[in-house]
């Protein structure tokens, strides 16, 4: 089993490594040797995978791996001379610089290009692990350049944990692993008693030190759960994190910005809290509450000179009034608010209909007044609301 250790970069962006590194350990995690100096030491192994991600090759003079050695918690090995180093790339050698406490990997030609098609594995075996539980810094430094630039030293640091011999954290499971939206799950894990444990997922950091399982209800989105174990001296603790996840069918989503380059199908209600611009096709699988219409039609009684209808808008929207007639002349005033906004629809001789449109804010009154008409005048109101309500008449003419 191997463990990928989180990488930490040191230095400015200009000195960032040109190569990428990943570290695995065997066993996973490493075990600290017994504190009794007469007891046999635990043996570990480090494997460092090296690659060039960019298409442009990097020119490399050497790669140095510094392993702290000694008897303290931040020391990884007790004796570097017992370590067996190996590098996989032909034309490269690896040796121990005992004074610097580092292993030096270098091409025999002085420097060599490392491109995306070249993979390097640095293997450090038979490491006698030190006897103090703690975290040791593993420092990887490359001397590299691109093109004809000057060579620079570029450093990456990894934290390698040495755990108590009886520590374990394993079999972190989520059941079921695929659920419907709003479904329930059960998390289970195995762990030793010599650590504190925390369960972490979005918005939650929960102490689960005394548990080996937890039920979680109403999961509505894909979620990764992390189980973090902490043990050792508080001044130099060791931390191990394992994870599991659940997949939710038709999950709830919350995103910052969303760009859709294809067709968008909305199969239920739509709520829009800000300006919305549609520059392409949108299709709706059901009636959409964000776009609700009604119409109301009144007909004049022959001697009408003023006819009024008023409503209150449950949401913001648009109101349109249309008057039609087969003879004579007709006029209507459309208004919203306290007559703050008005528009006129006027059928002059020679025209059969006219319309006026006004915006309406939520909770505003709106309506029309037919100022001139005859028995042949028809007035029709159409309200288009952005919301789920239906406008209620305050007063309807009879």
pLDDT single digits (tens) 368-394: 777 666 556 777 777 777 765 555 554
225: pLDDT strictly greater than 90: yes
Mean pLDDT value across residues 160-168: 95
Give the position of tokens 């249309």: 322
Residues in the chain: 398
Which pLDDT band holds residue 307 (cuts at 50, 70, 90)? low
Residue range 6-61, pLDDT digits in tens: 444 444 577 899 999 999 999 999 999 999 989 999 999 999 999 999 999 999 99
Residue that is written with structure tokens 């374990």 in the block: 168
- d(Cα 61, Cα 66) in Å, to the nearest integer? 16
Q: Please give the model's pTM, rounded to 2 decimal places.
A: 0.65
Instruction: Classify residue 279 by burial, with Cβ atoms within 10 Å: 0-12, 13-18, 19+.
Output: exposed
Q: Are 135 and 238 in contact (CB under 8 A)?
A: yes
Which residues are 134's β-sheet partners? Answer: 162
Report residue 13: phi and psi, to 5°: -60, -35
pLDDT at 151: 96
pLDDT, residue 23, reads: 96
What pLDDT is recorded for position 356?
A: 82
Task: Please give the torsion angle defined by the CA atoms of residues 8, 10, 16 and 20, in that order, rounded to the nearest 10 degrees.
Answer: -30
Which stretch of 98-107, 191-200, 210-219, 339-348 has the lowest confidence by average pLDDT?
Answer: 339-348
Record the tokens describing residue 288, joined without a space.
């959409």
Contact present, 84 and 125 (Cβ < 8 Å): yes
- Tens digit of each residue's pLDDT (9 = 90 or more) over 74-109: 999 999 999 999 999 999 999 999 999 999 999 999
Inter-residue contact 105 to 144 (CB < 8 Å): no
Q: How much of the chain exceeds pLDDT 70, in percent?
A: 79
User: Taking 80 as the threshold, does the pLDDT of residue 294 lie above it?
Assistant: no
**DSSP per-residue codes, 304-339:** -S-EEEEEE-SS-EEEEEEEE-SSS-EEEEEEETTT
Structure tokens at 74: 């931040």
More confident residue, 245 or 275: 245
Going by pLDDT thresholds of 50, 70 and 90, the confidence category of residue 350 is low
Handedness of CA 32, 34, 38, 42 (dihedral sign): negative
Q: What is the DSSP letter of 81?
A: G
The band of 295, judged by pLDDT with boundaries at 50, 70 and 90, is: very low
**pLDDT(196) > 90:** yes
90-114 b/e (C-beta count within 10 Å ≥ 16 → b): eebebebeeeebbbbbbbeeeebeb
Can you tell me the distance from the alpha carbon of 210 to that of 94, in angstroms, rounded to the nearest whole number? 47
* Mean pLDDT of all residues in 108-129: 95
What tokens does 34 get? 């017994």
Helix or strand holding residue 13 (H, E): none
CB 330 within 8 A of CB 280: no
Residue in 321, 395, 397, 335 with CA at minimum distance from that of residue 364: 335
pLDDT digit string (tens) for 323-338? 776 666 777 777 777 6
> What is the rounded average pLDDT of the residues 226-247?
95
Tokens of 389: 């309500």
For residue 364, the model assigns a pLDDT of 83
Q: Which residues contact 185 (CB under 8 A, 6 or more apart)?
A: 174, 175, 176, 179, 215, 216, 219, 246
Cα–Cα distance, 2 to 38 (Å, whole number):
29
Average predicted confidence (pLDDT) for the chain: 83
Q: Which residue has the higher pLDDT, 359 or 301?
A: 359
Mean pLDDT of 346-357: 76
């Amino acid at each position: 089993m191997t463990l990928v250790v989180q990488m930490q970069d040191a230095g400015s962006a200009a000195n960032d490594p040109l190569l990428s590194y990943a570290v695995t350990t065997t066993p996973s995690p490493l075990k600290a040797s017994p504190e009794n100096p007469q007891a046999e030491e635990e043996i570990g192994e480090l494997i460092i995978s090296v690659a060039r991600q960019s298409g442009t090759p990097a020119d490399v003079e050497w790669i140095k791996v510094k392993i702290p050695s000694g008897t303290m918690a931040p020391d990884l090995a007790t004796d570097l001379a017992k370590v067996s180093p190996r590098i996989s790339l032909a034309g490269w050698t690896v040796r121990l610089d005992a004074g610097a406490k580092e292993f030096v990997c270098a091409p025999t030609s002085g420097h060599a290009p490392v491109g995306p098609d070249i993979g390097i594995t640095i293997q450090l075996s038979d490491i006698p692990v030190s006897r103090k539980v703690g975290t040791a810094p593993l420092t990887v430094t490359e001397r590299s350049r691109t093109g004809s630039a000057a060579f620079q030293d570029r450093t990456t640091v990894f934290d390698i944990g040495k755990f108590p011999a009886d520590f374990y954290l394993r079999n972190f499971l989520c059941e079921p692993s695929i659920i419907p939206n709003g479904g329930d799950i059960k998390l289970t894990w195995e762990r030793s008693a010599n650590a504190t444990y925390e369960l972490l997922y979005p918005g939650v950091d929960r102490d689960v030190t005394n548990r080996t399982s937890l039920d979680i209800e109403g999961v509505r989105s894909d979620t990764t759960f992390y189980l973090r174990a902490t043990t050792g001296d508080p001044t130099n603790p060791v931390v191990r994190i394992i994870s599991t996840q659940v997949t939710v069918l038709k999950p709830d989503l919350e995103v910052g910005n969303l760009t859709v380059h294809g067709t968008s199908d909305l199969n239920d209600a739509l709520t829009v809290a800000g300006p919305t611009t549609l520059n392409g096709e949108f299709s709706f699988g059901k009636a959409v509450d964000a776009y609700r219409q009604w119409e109301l039609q009144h007909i004049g009684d022959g001697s009408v000179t003023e006819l009024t209808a008023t409503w209150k808008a449950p949401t913001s929207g648009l109101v349109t009034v249309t008057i039609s007639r087969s003879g004579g002349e007709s006029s209507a005033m459309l208004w919203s608010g306290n007559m703050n906004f008005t528009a006129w629809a006027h059928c002059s001789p020679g025209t059969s209909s006219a319309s006026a449109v006004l915006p309406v804010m939520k909770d505003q009154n709106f309506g029309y007044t037919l100022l001139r008409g005859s028995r042949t005048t028809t007035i029709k109101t159409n309200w288009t609301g952005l919301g789920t309500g239906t406008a209620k008449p305050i007063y309807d003419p009879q």
